[in-house]
Structure formats: C-alpha cells, structure tokens
Amino acid sequence: MSDLICIGAVAGSFGVRGEVRLKSFCAIPEDIETYSPLQSEDGSQRYTISLTRVTNNGFVAILGGIDTKEQADAIKGLRLFAPRDALPHLPDDEYYYSDLTGLQVFDTGGTLLGQVKSVMNHGAGDLLEIQAPGLKDTVLLPFTQAAVPTVDMDQRRIIADPPDGLF
C-alpha cells in the first residue's frame, strides 16, 4: 500500500489570475482543503490549497505557487496526494481506491478472474474495473457485498461472486 493517497485533481484553469478548477475525491469534498499542503505523485511539488468557491463538479481554488493562467493551464490533470497518516483511519469494511488497485480478483472457487485496474464511481456506486486475462476489454464489477464478499488486504486479493455471464 502506498504512503500517498490521491485526494484530488486539477481539472483546468479558471479565469486569468491563476485559479484552478479542482476535483475533490474526499467523502466530504470540501475537506480537501484541510489536508493542505498536497503534493504531486512523485513528491517533487507541494501546493497549499485555498478553496475560493464551489463550481460545477468541484471547486475553484488557489494553489500556492500558481499565479497565472498559463501556470494553471500547465498543471491541468495534476493529481494531488496527501500522506496516508494525515487521512482518517477507515473502518475494516472501507478502503481507499488506491488500496484496491492492483489486487488480484478470484471467484469463490479460486479461479483467477483478473486484476483491479481502477475503481470508478459514476454516481450509482463503486465499480471495480478488472483486466481479465485473455479479454481485450475490461470488466466492470459492482463493488457491493453481494458481488464482492471478501477483500483480503493481507493476501492482496479479492474474492468475488460476479453475476452470471459477466466474465
């Protein structure tokens, strides 16, 4: 498990004074500001965050060191990370998306189904994107108790009971 957790991303510039559109991946979106300063994935850059207002699908924010529209345009897509120990401890049945990515997925009979490529949420619940061996396209598995009865972080695997015909 990584010591850094992605909690936001820069969606682009906003205006001409260096403000950015910021997407928050926090359970309470405005909490992203409380974890400031955030850093780039490689740790080479650190940014203080000050939310200025709410906008569609996120916030408008000032990032320390970003003063012009050109600088804000240049960091579009930048993912922002916080140290794991700065984030709340999760209950046993909750996980950070980054902890699930890369886990092997087996069915209840022990057959390898694939590996978690990413975790998505389009508003109706979490989906595990699984890259299955021998399949060109990925498979989306609902991350529900019925479809995913076991997540074993010690063994770095998931036991799934997918709906018939999914794989």
Q: pLDDT tens-digit profile of 40-69?
A: 999 899 999 999 999 988 999 999 999 999
pLDDT grade, residue 20 (50/70/90)?
very high
**How much is the pLDDT for 66?**
96
Is the pLDDT at 1 greater than 70? The verdict is no
pTM: 0.76
How far apart, in Å, are the Cα atoms of 163 and each of 110, 116, 147, 159? 16, 17, 7, 13
Domains of the chain in sequence order: 4-85 (2.40.30.60), 97-160 (2.30.30.240)
In order, the DSSP letters of 66-134 are: --SHHHHHHTTT-EEEEEGGGSPPPPTT---HHHHTT-EEEETTS-EEEEEEEEEESSS-EEEEEE-TT
**How much is the pLDDT for 94?**
87
Cross-sheet strand order for the sheet of 157-160: 139-142, 126-131, 112-121, 104-107, 157-160, 150-152
Euclidean distance between CA atoms 38 and 51, whole angstroms = 13
Pairing of strands 157-160, 49-55: unpaired
Determine which of 45-54, 77-86, 90-99, 130-139 has the lowest per-residue pLDDT on average.
90-99
pLDDT grade, residue 167 (50/70/90)?
confident
